[in-house]
């Protein structure tokens, strides 16, 4: 069973951040941060003790709902989970009052016990299994301010069915089921300032599990060991720009995942370059070898580029390669000349994977451009070239897309 450690109180207003070992510096706002020395940070699981379920009115006027409830029973997870019922919507807003009166008797060997407490249905897990809990009471119509529904004050039956499944076996997995890098080290160029660490619980078949009493953001304890500076808040991680390694370890060591952070351009051996003409209030036009691009009022007059998938000798790069490693050259400056991109005035040309240059179209004709990245592949470099014909550039959208370098 992968869940171990101390019992946590629920509900939790925010994910707890616990530093273990060496002293931890803090940043503005009091968020813990790891220093450059070997450090360990623990993101504690976030538990959910209660949720609200909204009733609806059926054709017979009964306030009803059928709701599946999936609960995890594990060490450190509270065994009680409460459900409150809210009035149905009438004229697009909740109206009326709800009174829960009793719960049908459950078998003594049912996987859950159920009781009424302060107007809520409290489920207490006992063992793994499935049970159906029937909740009954009265709904009183409110004044919805419209002609729909029964008159205010009308009393009608309430019947809610909770189909409860209690699970005692879930395996934590870091990075979700399709994590980059597989079981090996995941490599990042560190083009972004923050990274989200997706976490998952899997069943015996490797399929995702979701539980009502476990937050999907931080569904189990995860430890971070790092020699890279990092600030962590919930499952959002902000790493420094220095090169280093980070290891994430699930509770009990059931799963781990290693990251190599700030991979230099010399280790990238190949990359896919996309050439395109951005769309102004429309779809972009792909620029491929020998294509003929007709001008229209919804396209910007320039050839842009984007760095797509990049790979290292040992596997894929898990984020975008830094566009600053790539530069654009024009072999036909009489048709298209290279300028610096003004991303503030350009639709579809901002972000870490988009090049900071474009070939602005000067007149109709064949435009030939190439992207070069001389630092890649240990100095061997990368060159990608495309040649295409552009017709009717006077009909391209008149939008300022670039400024002289």
pLDDT tens for residues 327-343? 999 999 999 999 998 76
pLDDT band at 26 (very low <50, low <70, confident <90, very high): very low
pLDDT of residue 18: 29
The yes-or-no verdict on residue 127 having pLDDT over 50 is: yes
CA pair distance 350, 158, nearest whole angstrom: 53
Report which of residues 136 and 352 the model is more confident about. 136
The domains located in the chain, with CATH, are: 17-47+173-261 (no CATH), 50-167 (2.60.40), 266-403 (2.60.40)
- pLDDT for 348 equals 61
Question: Of 86-90, 197-201, 210-214, 354-358, which range is least confident?
Answer: 197-201
Task: Give every CB contact of residue 49 below 8 A, 6+ residues apart in sequence.
Answer: 10, 11, 78, 80, 81, 82, 213
**Rounded to whole angstroms, what are the CA distances from 77 to 213, 215, 253?**
8, 11, 18
Supply the pLDDT for residue 112.
97
Give the mean model confidence (pLDDT) for residues 178-197: 79
Other C-beta atoms within 10 Å of 1: how many?
12
Give pLDDT, residue 90: 81
Name which of 249, 248, 232 is nearest 240 in CA terms. 232
Residue bearing the bigger pLDDT, 345 or 51: 51
Q: Which two tokens stand for residue 379?
A: 């100095």
Q: Which residue has the higher pLDDT, 276 or 282?
A: 276
What is the mean pLDDT of the segment spanning 142-157? 79
Whether the predicted pLDDT of 29 surpasses 50: no
According to the per-residue pLDDT averaged within each range, which of 253-262, 302-311, 334-343 is highest? 302-311
C-alpha to C-alpha distances, 181 to 97, 175, 186, 315, nearest whole angstrom: 53, 10, 4, 7
At residue 404 the predicted structure's pLDDT band, cuts being 50, 70 and 90, is very low
Q: What is the pLDDT, as a whole number, of residue 142? A: 85
**pLDDT at residue number 9:** 27
Structure tokens at 365: 């004709």
The per-residue pLDDT for 251 is: 78
Residues 75-89 have a mean pLDDT of 92
Instruction: Please state, in angstroms and rounded to a whole number, the distance separating the CA atoms of residues 87 and 21.
Output: 50
Asked whether residue 399 carries a pLDDT value surpassing 70, the answer given is no
Mean pLDDT of 177-205: 79
Residue with the larger pLDDT of the pair 177 and 50: 50
Per-residue confidence band for 83, with pLDDT thresholds at 50, 70 and 90: very high
Q: How many CB atoms lie within 10 A of CB 4?
A: 13
Asked whether residue 100 carries a pLDDT value surpassing 90, the answer given is yes
pLDDT at 11 over 60: no
pLDDT at 236 > cutoff 80: no
Two tokens at 51?
A: 């949720």
Average pLDDT of span 53-81:
92
Mean pLDDT, rounded, for 44-70: 91
pLDDT, averaged across the chain: 82
């Amino acid at each position: 069973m992968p869940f171990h450690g101390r019992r946590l109180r629920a509900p939790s207003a925010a994910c707890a951040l616990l530093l273990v070992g060496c002293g931890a510096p803090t940043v503005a706002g009091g968020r813990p941060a790891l220093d450059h020395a070997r450090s360990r940070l623990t993101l504690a699981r976030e538990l959910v003790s209660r949720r609200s379920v909204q009733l609806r009115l059926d054709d017979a006027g009964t306030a009803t709902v059928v709701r599946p409830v999936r609960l995890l029973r594990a060490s450190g997870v509270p065994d009680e989970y409460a459900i409150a019922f809210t009035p149905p919507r009438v004229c697009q807003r909740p109206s009326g009052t709800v009174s829960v009166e009793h719960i049908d008797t459950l078998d003594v060997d049912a996987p859950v016990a159920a009781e009424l407490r302060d107007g809520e249905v409290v489920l207490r897990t006992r063992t793994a299994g499935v049970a159906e809990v029937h909740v009954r009471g009265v709904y009183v119509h409110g004044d919805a301010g419209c002609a729909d529904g029964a008159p205010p004050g009308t009393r009608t039956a309430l019947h809610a069915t909770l189909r409860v499944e209690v699970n005692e076996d879930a395996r934590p997995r870091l990075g979700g089921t399709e994590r980059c890098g597989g079981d090996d080290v995941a490599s990042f160029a560190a083009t972004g300032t923050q990274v989200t660490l997706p976490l998952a619980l899997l069943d015996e078949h490797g399929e995702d599990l979701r539980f009502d009493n476990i937050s999907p953001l931080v569904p189990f304890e995860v430890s971070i060991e790092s020699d890279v500076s990092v600030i962590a808040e919930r499952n959002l991680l902000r790493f420094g720009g220095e090169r280093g390694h980070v290891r994430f370890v699930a509770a009990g060591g059931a799963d781990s995942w290693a990251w190599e952070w700030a991979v230099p351009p010399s280790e990238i051996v190949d990359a896919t370059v996309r050439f395109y003409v951005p769309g102004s209030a429309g779809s972009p036009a792909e620029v491929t070898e020998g294509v003929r691009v007709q001008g229209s009022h919804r396209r910007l007059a320039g050839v842009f580029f984007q760095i797509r998938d990049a790979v290292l000798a040992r596997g894929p790069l898990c984020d975008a390669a830094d566009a600053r490693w790539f530069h654009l050259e024009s072999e036909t400056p009489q048709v298209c000349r290279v300028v610096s991109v003004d991303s503030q005035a350009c639709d579809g040309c901002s972000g870490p994977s988009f090049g900071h240059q474009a070939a602005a179209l000067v007149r109709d004709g064949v435009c030939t451009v190439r992207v070069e990245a001389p630092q890649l592949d240990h100095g061997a470099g990368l060159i990608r070239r495309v040649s295409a014909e552009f017709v009717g550039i006077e009909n391209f959208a008149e939008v300022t897309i670039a400024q002289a370098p």
